[in-house]
Amino acid sequence: TRVMEVLLGSVTPNELMTGKIVGIGLVGLTQILIYMATAGVLRFVVAVKVSGGDMAWVQDALAPAKLAYFVVFFVLGYFFYTALFAAVGAVCNSEQEAQNMQQPLTMALMIPYIMTFFFVRNPDHIAAVIMSMIPPFAPMIMFTRLSVGSVPAWQVALSLALLIGPIWLVFRAAAKVFRVGILMYGKRPTIPEILRWARC
């Protein structure tokens, strides 16, 4: 749009994409901070008001370490998927086109969501371990495993390492696609064209 052309007169495409992603991410982090503050108050109230082990699961669920893991995996998962969605939005001319192109990303988000119902009861299953190492699934699956059981430290470290590297690659590719696609009008580019932009 003309508004986008005016914006790009003041900032680079990379700065514009990064600003959009970070701005929305800060909104999400603000919500998380509110949730964590509420959780801290709830944990304190449970510790003071409830005697015995009836509510021990609440104390465990709201443990500071688990809340910290939640923030870490939320931020990493957010950056991984938001860069991909930004690239999709840049190459689409209408909301209908965007809905069609984002279906694979939506499916990639739904798969770990569905699998968590199984992994909650089997956090150490080989499928859970493998999926918690695969970048598109790691944020949700690894946090699920951490929430319901004890995960070896090396698995957590490996999952984080395998997630951080692809995030950097996805950001680079998305920035290249965003730079080319943001000012394109008319026919939607093909998948091979988008892949070519990402490699340039």
In the prediction, which pLDDT does 159 show?
92
Q: Using one digit for the tens of pLDDT, what is the confidence trace for 154-181?
A: 999 999 999 888 888 888 888 887 777 7
Residue 94 CA to residue 53 CA, distance in Å, equals 55
Terminal alpha carbon distance of the chain: 24
Mean pLDDT of 41-65: 67
Is the per-residue pLDDT at 186 higher than 80? no
Mean pLDDT of 23-38: 84
In the prediction, which pLDDT does 58 show?
61
C-alpha triplet 83, 119, 79: angle, nearest 5°: 10
Q: Using one digit for the tens of pLDDT, what is the confidence trace for 100-118?
A: 778 888 888 888 888 888 8
Mean pLDDT of 64-85: 86
The full DSSP string for 107-128 is HHHHHHHHHHHHHTT-TTSHHH
In the prediction, which pLDDT does 100 show?
78
φ, ψ of residue 101 in degrees (nearest 5): -75, -25
Mean pLDDT of 71-79: 88
In the prediction, which pLDDT does 119 show?
85
Residue 121 CA to residue 126 CA, distance in Å, equals 13
Residue 123 CA to residue 141 CA, distance in Å, equals 9
Residue 57 CA to residue 185 CA, distance in Å, equals 55
pTM above 0.85, yes or no: no
- Two tokens at 19? 């600003």
- Two tokens at 31? 């919500």
